[in-house]
Structures are given as structure tokens and as C-alpha cells.
């Protein structure tokens, strides 16, 4: 009998929950088990003690952010009128995840915070074929393989500093408390920023946009040569500020919603909110003097240049020294957990661009691995796709190099109009709900999932 076949087990109940009912009953339940609610005449005092999530409960939540199998390149690779090849190899990876991603960039990483420590959740490949990914053994083993323990404690600011800019208003009373588990997402934008630029540059002739810099008087963004020779259309002007994050930031919000629905299906309390603000939590130099290094991201602070006065309205004064700093990576015990495609991680932006290209089309690159596409396609269709679908032309790569080099040389960082690592400013907290509080005050405070959770999961 499989681990989840027992009718009374919490895992069995979770796997049998209908999506429609979970969607319909999804509600924020902020109050964790064991916590009081000071609210005037509606105040509530808990008689319970906090109960942390079990390792299996957390493993299910980790699985809700992870890889699930291989995606399909179900797209045309020829122009329907001319028959010319079109770019149909935009993906950065082929491993699919529980939420979608532009060009399957999969740039979102999670941190998990609980009573035992603060963890980075590394990307794992999809489960091997033939293994039940929802068995208790598989869930627990994959969760342990994904977790990198950064701290042996729950990361937080000192008790007396639980106000802005660390926490917002009433959030500080119930957020990131003992017994709760928190998931905090960040998104590496740099990889897809380069990949997305190249995809823009593969548009049909006369439809390739001329990128301009709205932070530098709308001048060509390293594209003057390419406008003059007709590779880019001077009449289709695209500001770098409009390109912004290449939509890659959407990944995190989709994954957080998946986490929220998973907490509901488990019968837990779930709460998406802004808690420790990202610059504080990530260790931005502007806040290290007050809060310390926190998660300890690697930051770059561009040197001030005279034109920054006009481009970014900054001055060469101490107070503005780190105003344009941004995170470019995360290293733990010598391992680069996140390494953005930009200096100082690479000697130049040309090298960073070439690394992205090589990861797709170089020896050992994604689109040179026939075995992946044999697992995706039936018969020899994978080989046909690899043989017939186009790769980047050299002009596309060279133009992308020029744009990225321009951004870094002009603004002292890459990207300039958004961060290399974006934090949406939200996290999801999962906890056992304070049942009596919801029963006492609200007409529809709990579902049967919440009422039965403790007996199913913690008998």
C-alpha cells in the first residue's frame, strides 16, 4: 500500500481535494494557532500553543513550487507565407514547473523560513519517470535535496525594530512568528533579459524594433549602427523602460498563488502579504548599518558619473552612494546559488551574452541535447525539430551584445532600468489556524479542511 492510500491520512485527503472547491473556498486566514488578537471589543486570547508545520506539510509546499516534467515546443518554426525559418527555440530550459514562465526562463527562487532555520530552495530536475512524485517518501527526499540551510534560525529583525521599513503596520503582529512557515520569492531577471532581447531581434525584417534609452534622452541604446544598416527599423522605437523586466517577474506571482491554493487544499492558514521589505531582507547596503547583512545577497553599487545627475537625478554625496545598488547574486559557503548574467560575475556583458547563447546552442547546450527532445516528442519528431527549427543568426547575437554592453557602460550596471534580481515584495505565510478564533467571530471562518486538519495531520 502506498504512503497516501490510508483513508485517514492528511496526504490522502489533500490529493483528493477537488480544484473547484479549493478555488471557491480560498480565503486569507491570518491568525496562526496560539496567537492573540488585540482588537478592542473583538479581542481574542488563544488557549493553544503554536504548532509548526510537519516536514511533510512543508515538503508539499516545496513541491508546489518545483519542476513537474518536460514542456513541449508546440509552435510553428516556419513563416506561413514565405516558408522561411522563424525563431522557435526561445526556451531557456525545457523543464516545466507548476507555473508558467516567459520563454520558460524559470528565474524564480524561493527562500523558506521556519523555526529550525532559513533555507534557500534550489531548483531540482523533474522527478524521475516511474516514481510517484506524491508519495510521502518522494516528497520528503526531494524537499531535503532542495533545501540549503543558510541560517540555523528564523531570519528576522530585532523585536523592537518590527516596524517600517522592516514590517508594515498590523502585519508585524502575526507575520513570521514561531510556528509559521514563510516562503519568500526572488526572480533572476538578467538571464531572460538577454534571452528576451535576442527574441525581439529575431522578428521579421522591418519589424525589428530600434531600442532607445529613455534614461539617456531617448538616444539609440547601442543600436545606432544597426539602425543605419537597416537591421533595425528606425520607425519602431522601443524604450528600454518599456522593455523593463521582460515580464519575467510574473513567474513569482503565479507560483505564490499556487502556494496559496496548496495551503487551502491542506487545510492550513495562508496569507500573501508584504512583510520584511526586500531591501532589508536581502541585505541592501542602504540598510546593512541598521539591520545587518540578513540573507547576504551580493550587491553592486554603480560609481557615480556626471551624467547620472541628469539620467538618474543622483549626486556624488554619501547619502546617495548606494541609491542605485542592486543584487547580482547569492553565494553560500563558496557555492553560487544565484549568479546573474552581468559583471562582476562575468568580465563583460559580451561574455555574459555569449554564455546565454552557449547554454542554448553551444556544445552541451539545451538545443544540442537530442535526448531531451526524444523524451518530449514521439518517433523522430524531436530530431526534425532540432534540425529544422532556426537558431540565432550572428547579427542577432552581435546586436544583443552591443545593446547589453551599452547598458552596462552607460549606466554602470545591468540591467539599468530594472534590477538584476527582482523581489516582488510579498511572501506567503503558511500556518495552522487558530480555529476557535474563526469559529467565535466569523460566519464562514473555516472550511471542513481546516476543522479536520489537526486530526488528519497531527493525531
* pLDDT (0 to 100) of residue 459: 86
Give domain status of residue 121, yes or no.
yes
Q: Between residues 429 and 130, which one has the greater pLDDT?
A: 429
Check whether 414 has a pLDDT greater than 80.
Answer: yes
Which tens digit of pLDDT belongs to each residue from 21-78? 999 999 999 999 999 999 999 999 999 999 999 999 999 999 999 999 999 999 999 9
4: pLDDT confidence band, cut at 50, 70 and 90?
Answer: very low
pLDDT digits (tens, 9 = 90+) for 143-179: 999 999 999 999 999 988 999 888 988 888 999 999 9
Q: Are 297 and 329 in contact (CB under 8 A)?
A: yes
**Domain assignment present for 1:** no
Q: Are 152 and 115 in contact (CB under 8 A)?
A: no
Q: For position 8, what pLDDT does the model report?
A: 52
In a domain, 4, yes or no: no
Give domain status of residue 152, yes or no.
Answer: yes
DSSP state of 152: S
Domain count, the chain: 1
Q: What contacts 24+ positions apart, CB below 8 Å, involve 27-30?
A: 27/264, 28/270, 28/271, 28/272, 29/269, 29/270, 29/271, 29/433, 29/438, 29/445, 29/446, 29/450, 30/174, 30/269, 30/271, 30/273
Give the model confidence (pLDDT) of 323-376 as tens digits. 999 999 999 999 999 999 999 999 999 999 999 999 999 999 999 999 999 999
pLDDT tens across 191-237, in order? 999 999 999 999 998 999 999 999 999 999 999 999 999 999 999 99
Q: What is the pLDDT, as a whole number, of residue 181? A: 98
- The pTM for the full model equals 0.95
Structural domain contains residue 5: no
Instruction: Give domain status of residue 209, yes or no.
Output: yes
Scanning 186-341, the segments in alpha helix (DSSP H) are: 190-200, 224-228, 240-243, 250-266, 278-282, 285-291, 308-311
Among residues 301, 275, 298, 78, the alpha carbon closest in space to that of 175 is found at: 275
Helical segments of 314-393, H only: 349-361, 370-376, 381-388
Average pLDDT over residues 366-389: 96
pLDDT at 186 over 90: yes
**Least confident among 156-165, 260-269, 396-405:** 156-165
Tell me the pLDDT of the chain averaged across its residues.
95
Cα(131)–Cα(141) distance, integer angstroms: 12
Give pLDDT, residue 129: 87
State residue 275's pLDDT score: 81
Portion of the chain with pLDDT greater than 90, in percent: 91
Residue 362 in any domain: the answer is: yes
Q: Which residue has the cell 531570519?
A: 155
Domain that includes residue 418, residue range = 10-457
pLDDT confidence of residue 122: 97
Look at residue 3 and tell me if it is in a domain.
no
Amino acid at each position: 500500500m502506498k504512503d497516501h492510500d490510508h483513508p485517514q491520512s492528511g496526504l490522502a485527503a489533500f490529493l483528493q481535494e477537488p480544484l473547484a472547491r479549493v478555488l471557491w473556498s480560498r480565503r486569507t486566514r491570518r491568525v496562526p494557532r496560539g496567537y492573540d488578537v488585540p482588537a478592542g471589543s473583538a479581542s481574542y486570547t488563544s488557549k493553544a500553543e503554536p504548532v509548526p508545520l510537519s516536514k511533510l506539510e512543508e515538503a508539499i509546499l516545496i513541491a508546489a513550487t518545483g519542476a513537474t516534467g518536460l514542456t513541449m515546443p508546440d509552435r510553428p518554426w516556419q513563416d506561413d507565407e514565405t516558408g522561411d525559418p522563424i525563431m522557435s527555440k526561445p526556451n531557456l530550459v525545457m523543464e516545466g514547473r507548476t507555473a508558467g514562465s516567459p520563454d520558460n526562463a524559470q528565474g524564480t527562487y524561493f527562500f523558506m523560513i521556519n523555526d529550525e532555520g532559513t533555507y534557500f530552495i534550489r531548483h531540482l530536475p523533474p522527478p524521475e519517470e516511474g516514481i510517484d512524485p506524491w508519495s510521502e517518501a518522494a516528497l520528503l527526499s526531494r524537499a531535503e535535496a532542495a533545501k540549503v540551510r543558510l541560517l540555523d534560525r528564523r531570519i528576522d529583525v530585532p523585536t523592537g525594530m518590527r516596524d517600517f521599513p522592516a514590517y508594515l503596520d498590523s502585519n508585524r503582529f502575526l507575520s513570521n512568528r514561531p510556528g509559521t512557515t514563510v516562503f519568500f520569492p526572488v526572480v533572476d531577471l538578467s538571464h531572460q533579459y538577454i534571452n528576451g532581447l535576442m527574441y525581439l531581434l529575431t522578428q521579421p525584417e522591418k519589424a525589428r524594433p530600434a531600442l532607445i534609452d529613455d534614461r539617456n534622452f531617448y538616444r539609440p541604446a547601442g543600436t545606432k549602427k544597426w539602425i543605419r544598416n537597416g537591421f533595425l527599423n528606425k520607425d519602431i522605437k522601443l524604450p528600454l523602460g518599456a522593455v523593463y523586466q521582460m515580464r519575467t517577474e510574473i513567474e513569482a506571482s503565479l507560483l505564490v498563488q499556487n502556494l496559496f491554493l496548496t495551503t487551502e487544499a491542506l487545510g492550513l492558514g495562508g496569507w500573501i502579504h508584504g512583510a520584511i521589505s526586500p531591501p532589508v531582507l536581502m541585505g541592501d547596503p542602504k540598510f546593512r548599518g541598521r539591520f545587518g547583512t540578513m540573507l547576504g545577497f551580493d550587491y553592486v553599487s554603480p560609481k557615480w558619473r556626471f551624467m547620472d545627475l541628469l539620467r538618474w537625478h543622483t549626486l556624488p554625496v554619501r547619502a546617495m552612494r548606494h541609491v542605485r545598488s542592486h543584487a547580482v547574486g547569492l553565494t553560500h559557503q563558496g557555492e553560487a546559488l544565484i549568479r546573474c548574467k552581468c559583471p562582476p560575475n562575468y568580465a563583460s556583458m559580451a561574455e555574459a551574452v555569449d554564455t546565454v547563447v552557449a547554454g542554448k546552442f553551444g556544445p552541451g547546450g539545451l538545443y544540442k541535447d537530442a535526448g531531451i527532445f526524444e523524451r518530449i516528442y514521439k518517433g523522430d519528431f524531436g530530431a526534425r525539430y532540432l534540425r529544422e527549427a532556426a537558431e540565432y543568426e550572428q547579427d542577432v547575437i552581435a546586436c544583443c551584445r552591443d545593446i547589453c554592453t551599452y547598458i552596462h557602460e552607460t549606466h554602470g550596471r545591468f540591467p539599468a532600468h530594472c534590477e538584476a534580481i527582482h523581489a516582488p515584495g510579498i511572501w506567503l505565510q503558511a500556518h495552522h489556524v487558530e480555529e476557535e478564533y474563526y469559529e467565535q467571530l466569523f460566519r464562514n471562518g473555516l472550511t471542513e479542511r481546516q476543522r479536520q486538519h489537526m486530526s488528519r495531520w497531527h493525531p
